[in-house]
Structure 1
Amino acid sequence: MPVIELSATEFLIERSFTISVIIPQAENRPTITFPDIPGLTKQGTSTSATRTEVNGREVINQVVTQTYAATRPGTLRVAPFVINVNGQTVRSAGTTLTVRAVTPPVSASVLAAKVDKNSALLITSVSQSDVFVGEGLRITVAVYVAENYPYELRFDKLAPQVEAMARQLRPVNAWEENDNISELTPHPITYAGRRYIQYVLYRATFFPLSGQNTATRTIHMPPLQLALTRSSVKVTPATATTPPHSVTSAEPLTLTSLPVDVNIKPLPPHPLRERVSVGQFRLVDEVDRRRVLVGQSLRFDIRIDGRGQIAGIQAPTQPTLETTRQAPDLEVFPPTMQEQIGRTDEQVSGYKRFRYFLIPKQKGTLALANRFFWVYFDPQTARYDTLRPQTVLNVINPGDSLTTGIVPTDTITTNGRSSIYSGLEQTDSTKQSINMPVLVRSLANVLIVLMILGTIYVYARK
């Protein structure tokens, strides 16, 4: 059954509101008509597909997302609506949206806005002026045009100019998640107490890497320049010989932004400081069954989702035998990975899933929290946190399978499916199996021999 998901209901006016429809187990992507919402304008539709494995079979889930932009700050009501997906009716109860006005970025560009009464500004803004190593830094470059600006701006040769800006802004030794803005979309915005129309040229999130993790360093974003053309229309009054007519004049215009500096703070000391992720995360674990035979394989999923550098999430840590001081009572196969990254909110969010196949070696209760853990750093609390799975396995002997109904699948192939050698070590080689086709052929051969001997005996008597 398709499912409707709504994005965050409280957001800045420069951000977007999205409605997503998730269609499970769908090979083909359907065409969906999303509702019109008063106070919001449709910006575009995006699609994606996620692949999961269910009972050894790959399943494709389709995701269709409609993006909306708010026309003004305030409270908006999204009434209940219905979406038709492949003949199925999916309902949403609606919601209430809180659209907040944009606060001025941390930049000296505020001074320019106060000086220029008829202003057109190029502003480089950042999400914050201090970030930790590995924490997401949101960088936006936008043109702000006052509502009473008497000129019309024309953006000429914009693509190469934006690419040049990106090269100047891109920090050294940082992972980039680019929003890939392909078209200019006007957004009404309040900035420094004035009403502007904002045109976002470039937006990306950078995650400073840990190459210099022991000292505070500064990322310097230099002034940027954007070449435009501004034009105005003047009406010439009528004379005795000529009627009134309009004259269009155009002239080049160069906008220059002010520089911005951001401090990159090192993470506090920790044994795993060089490999931890930074952000807000949670761990969700799932196992295909909790009662399992000794030597039987089972599938175990660990999904880590939240906000941060999703692509950089590493597999959970497994304690070594020396640290646990226990016998190798669990065999763990290397995991397969799947990730999904979204950039529809103010930060990069998504999940990364690790799929393991486990084989318990001893009977008893096995808590997977003692076998897997994942450490991350929360920049809001400036502390490390450790996430552990909650699954507890009940491992039983093969002789108990008559009451549990578990079918042994102790040997697995590379794709996680049961092998033809499953249960080999439980097979008793001293017991001879009965092969019915061979037995029938042997009896038939004996009968044929007896018939031949009988025939010879009859002829011999004559």
Structure 2
Amino acid sequence: MHFFFRWVLLLSFFSGLLSAAKAQAPTAPAAPATATGQVRLVLGPTSFPLNEYFTLAFQLEGAPLARYSAFPDIEGFKKSGKSSTTTTRIVGGKSSTQLTITQRYAAYKEGEYVLPAFTISVNGQQVRSGGATLKVLPQQAVATPSAPPGVGLLDQLFGKQKPQEFVEPQDNAFLAVVPDKTSVYVGEPVHVGLYFYLTPADQGLLDFYDYNRQLPRILRRLQQPAVWVEPSDEQEVLPENTTVGGKPYLRYHLYEAVYYPLTPRALEWPAVDLQMIKYKLPKKPDPTLDNRMTGLKTYISLPRTVAVKPLPPHPLRDQAVVGSYRLLESVDRSRFRTGQAFTYTLRIEGEGNLAAVNPVAPTEQAGAEIFGPEVHQEVTRANGRVGGYKTFRYRIVPRQPGVLALDSLFAVPVFDPATQNYQVLRASLKVKVLGAAQAPAISTRTTDPYYQSRLESADNQLLPLKTPDEVRRYANYLLAGLLLLAAFGWWRGNTGA
């Protein structure tokens, strides 16, 4: 009887916890059930500590998930991974499946934030939320539970249980700063990654701790003087399979960027540290307890250095841009005449620091006038490499007929670190410029007899340019005199009355 009473209390306690958790999670009204399923939005608790996530989720019932739109961005938060949960229920012999997709958000700092109203499309259905006010509270200490919630209450009722003895198992995880080269030229790209490695067996032992607060401190230590940095697009911290020393590892991308040294000064990255949660395991596991205790462990990377060499001597060294590029060009018409402007577009594309590719200064030439350029740049980051294109759009006005060779106007000196050679990318288009088009003759003949008789006797003497201004001034004087005369007459008429 005593055993039965204890289990009834335990079940009642957990039922209360489940009811409280459900009450904290506000839900948006569910969309009506259709052939594409029934969808509803679920917002996590709107008040939470800094070291916990805020969550947005949608639940889909009655249909498989075909497609859905992205979760909204929240100012002051960073997206930190998604999870998927599938729940199957069988009631009265009928089976129903509910899919839940949850997006986690990590706050950068404490404070109050506004989640504006937003809409998510799931299987073509539009589900709207009215938004919420999010309160990020101060960070809570990392809990170190040795027993599941509610055991403390049962201990008070039935006596304290015997404490477990925990040990810290050895792990094979490590933190590393990894540049992809040991020596580069000035302006040559160096891809640098900050990675955390662990073996698949260590996944249950380690977890990230206060990551959003630690990362800015680490990135400040990775900064370099006299370097142009192209950071990679922010991405979720997800593991990927790799091999280290012939052994399988999981690698987490914490930070990636491409560094372009601007001077021959070596790139030096100091040792950086990262705290991780590491769980201790009991000597004698108890199936009724959590069987692990939370602790912290600090992992420190090795310092790394990349030597930077000056560009080889060459007459073009001071003007050359560093990278692997090619030149494309185009014009906006096929016929050219003197005095008529046309658009010439110069496009440089490839891999390298496009920000260092300055507008090309055209060579002076007597046969044309050049205006511009208008500059446009597109940068692509993928697989640790940075590339793209940069366009320069000029307006050119030919001044004399003949062949206009654009290769004499535009040239880009380049140093390719892969071949260690200098080259000059030159324009190759040549346009044939024709003379100005003849203006159509204006005939003075007319078939109107009224004007025909007067054109013959009309005075063709040129008048001074100021004649219209003088006529306008005299007309203003005359108008002012008439106004004064009218005012005087009105005054005399009123006085005589």
Q: TM-score, normalised by structure 1?
A: 0.57
| CA gap 1:181/1:234 in 2 versus in 1, 3 angstroms | farther
Structure 2 residue 303 is the aligned partner of structure 1 residue 265: no
CA offsets, 1:141-173, max 9 Å, x none? 010011222743221221232222222122101
Candidates 277, 281, 305, aligned match of 1:229? 277
| CA gap 1:118/1:294 in 2 versus in 1, 3 angstroms | same
Contact 1:302 1:355 in 2 (8 A): yes
Give the counterpart letter for 1:296 in structure 2: Q
Candidates 200, 205, 218, aligned match of 2:258? 205
Structure 2 residue 445 is the aligned partner of structure 1 residue 389: no
Candidates 386, 390, 402, aligned match of 1:352? 390
- Shift, 1:192, TM fit: 1.5
Give the counterpart letter for 1:126 in structure 2: P
CA offsets, 1:283-306, max 9 Å, x none? 000011242001111011001000
Instruction: State the distance in 2 between where 1:440 and 1:131 align.
Output: 88
Percentage identity across paired residues of the two chains: 30
Residues paired across the two proteins, number: 289
Candidates 396, 401, 418, aligned match of 1:380? 418
Contact 2:257 2:384 in 1 (8 A): no
5+ long unaligned stretches in structure 2: 1-66, 72-168, 453-497
Q: What's the secondary structure of 1:348's corresponding residue?
A: strand
- Shift, 1:233, TM fit: 4.7
Instruction: State the distance in 2 between where 1:302 and 1:373 align.
Output: 10
- Shift, 1:360, TM fit: 1.0
Contact 2:222 2:270 in 1 (8 A): yes
Structure 2 residue 402 is the aligned partner of structure 1 residue 364: yes
Instruction: State the distance in 2 between where 1:165 and 1:287 align.
Output: 49
Structure 2 residue 288 is the aligned partner of structure 1 residue 288: no
- Shift, 1:45, TM fit: 8.2
Instruction: State the distance in 1 between where 2:446 and 2:309 align.
Output: 73
Candidates 159, 164, 177, aligned match of 2:217? 164
Aligned positions of 1:6-405 closer than 5 A: 118-149=171-202, 151-209=204-262, 212=263, 216-234=264-282, 236=284, 245-320=289-364, 328-399=366-437
Instruction: State the distance in 2 between where 1:440 and 1:194 align.
Output: 105
Instruction: State the distance in 1 between where 2:444 and 2:383 align.
Output: 64
* 2:485 matched residue in structure 1: none
Instruction: State the distance in 2 between where 1:168 and 1:434 align.
Output: 86
Give the counterpart letter for 1:343 in structure 2: R
Q: What's the secondary structure of 1:264's corresponding residue?
A: strand
- Shift, 1:279, TM fit: 1.0
Q: What's the secondary structure of 2:393's corresponding residue?
A: strand
Q: What's the secondary structure of 2:220's corresponding residue?
A: helix
When structure 1 is superposed on structure 2, of 166-175 and 147-156 the one drifting more is 147-156
Contact 2:406 2:427 in 1 (8 A): yes
* 2:147 matched residue in structure 1: none
Q: What's the secondary structure of 2:202's corresponding residue?
A: coil
Q: What's the secondary structure of 1:171's corresponding residue?
A: coil
Instruction: State the distance in 1 between where 2:200 and 2:334 align.
Output: 63
Q: What's the secondary structure of 1:163's corresponding residue?
A: helix
| CA gap 1:244/1:334 in 2 versus in 1, 3 angstroms | closer
Contact 1:275 1:314 in 2 (8 A): no
* 2:113 matched residue in structure 1: none
Structure label with greater radius of gyration = 2
Instruction: State the distance in 2 between where 1:435 and 1:348 align.
Output: 70
Q: TM-score, normalised by structure 2?
A: 0.53
